[in-house]
Amino acid sequence: MVFVMAYTWEPKWEKYRVEVDGIILYTCRDKITGMIACPICIHAASTCLETEKRRPRDYTVENSFFFSPHDLIVHIREYHARGLNKKYLVSSEKKYKKLIK
């Protein structure tokens, strides 16, 4: 018997409702592994929620997956809401420079 370890997988997404500390959001969860995807990083609106047909052309997908809803909320608070996302910082800096001129 031969076992092969895979470095990637093809997720089978399902809609998933997350509720933590009064925060409710909808995202994607893999049916097989149970991994929860960050709805901002993977653009859940087009990936599994079917609220948009496709991602914007300039949208860069990042793979951020979590085992628990709490970990997802921490990621969103720390990475997206507090500006630790480098793309967000660069974009904000350009907008700020335009305002100063």
pLDDT one digit per residue (tens) for the chain, 101 residues: 666 666 777 889 999 999 988 889 999 999 999 999 999 998 888 888 888 888 888 888 888 999 999 999 989 988 887 765 555 445 444 544 444 44
| φ/ψ bin of 66: left (φ > 0), alpha (ψ from -120 to 50), beta (otherwise) | beta
Token output for 42: 């993977």
pTM score, two decimals?
A: 0.71
| pLDDT of amino acid 88 | 47
Query: pLDDT at position 92, please?
Result: 46
User: Which token pair is 83?
Assistant: 């500006």
What is the predicted pLDDT for the residue at 83?
63
DSSP states along 40-97:
TTTTHHHHTS-SSSS--TTPPP---EESSHHHHHHHIIIIIITS-SHHHHHHHHHHHH
